[in-house]
Amino acid sequence: MAKVFCIANQKGGVGKTTTSVNLAAGLVKAGQRVLLVDLDPQGNATMGSGVDKRQLELSVYDVLLESASIAETRVSSEKCGYDVLGASRDLAGAEVEMVSIERRERRLKQALEAVQGDYDFVLVDCPPSLSMLTLNGLCAANGVIVPMQCEYFALEGLTDLVNTIKQVHANLNKDLKIIGLLRVMFDPRITLQQQVSEQLKSHFGNKVFDTVIPRNVRLAEAPSYGLPGVVFDPSARGSQAYLEFAREMVARDL
């Protein structure tokens, strides 16, 4: 049975997609079978896995509208070693088109049931909103991984996400929990970042992952080559940190 994790944070540009593709590639290097689901209409996780979103015949949009199965829709990213359920622009319309559908928040969960046996991990890269798309991710997941930068407003932004997760837990998905907060783009020379990092640890204790992802330009360069940093330059500091994070995820009793 695959473990399903959402990478979510309603803020944009906090490292969700970078975490999704690098964790996926890191898990593959740790011997795991992985499916990456791109739930963001921007399709960055798709492109960043070397899959051209403009060439997709089917996408996660078709899966959500039940016009295709995951088995028909997934493509394998040969360079990265994992499968991708890709997103393209039409996903932006899914929100509106799904309004009149019953149990619309459970579409992804239902579709994943048929491929549970094919994977050890399913990672869901969520859009920067608490929308119907994110809700589909949260309904399907065993847990949420929250990438965050150690900045002044970081804790404030967390409140909305934590409340949403509580609501989904209470009403839609009893399995759902926060697996952990992942500190990303970390720069230890910045005192404020160290302070916020300490605050996070005192508030959330062991819900803060041990691994810290540093700010590292190789991670930012990799997407333009259609690769996760972990594949593009495995020896870079940022890639090493994501490999460590993948090992931490495998080792955790989740």
Q: Which residues bind Mg ion (CB under 5 A)?
A: 16-17, 44
C-alpha distances out from residue 243 to 25, 31, 55, 230, Å:
8, 12, 30, 7
Pick 11 or 104: Cβ nearer ligand ADP: 11
Stretch that binds ligand ADP, among 49-57, 78-86, 156-164, 217-225 (CB under 6 A): 217-225
Considering only residues 174-193, where is the footprint of ligand ADP by CB under 6 A? 184-185
- Which of 49, 193, 211, 216 touches ligand ADP by CB under 6 A? 216
Q: Which residues contact 193 (CB under 8 A, 6 or more apart)?
A: 149, 150, 151, 186, 187
Q: Which residues contact 136 (CB under 8 A, 6 or more apart)?
A: 39, 64, 104, 105, 106, 107, 108, 109
Phi, psi of 31, deg, nearest 5: 85, 15
Mask for 136-175, x = binds ligand ADP (CB under 6 A): ----------------------------------------
Stretch that binds ligand ADP, among 11-19, 71-79, 172-180, 245-253 (CB under 6 A): 11-19
The secondary structure element, H or E, covering residue 196 is helix 191-204
CA angle 38, 39, 42 (to 5 degrees): 85
Partners of 177 in the β-ladder: 143
Pick 128 or 234: Cβ nearer Mg ion: 128
Give the 3-state secondary structure percentages of the chain, helix then strand then coil, rounded to 5: 50, 20, 35
- Interacting partner of 184 out of Mg ion, ligand ADP, none (Cβ under 5 to 8 A depending on kind): ligand ADP
Phi, psi of 147, deg, nearest 5: -75, 140
Q: Is 18 in the site for ligand ADP (CB under 6 A)?
A: yes
Q: Is 16 in the site for ligand ADP (CB under 6 A)?
A: yes
- Which of 4, 5, 6, 15 touches ligand ADP by CB under 6 A? 15
Residue whose C-beta lies closest to Mg ion: 17
- Interacting partner of 179 out of ligand ADP, Mg ion, none (Cβ under 5 to 8 A depending on kind): none
Taking every pair of Cα atoms in the chain, the longest distance, rounded to a whole number of angstroms, is 51
Q: Is 74 in the site for ligand ADP (CB under 6 A)?
A: no
Pick 16 or 104: Cβ nearer ligand ADP: 16
Interface residues with ligand ADP (CB under 6 A)? 12-18, 44, 128, 184-185, 213, 215-216, 219-220, 223, 238
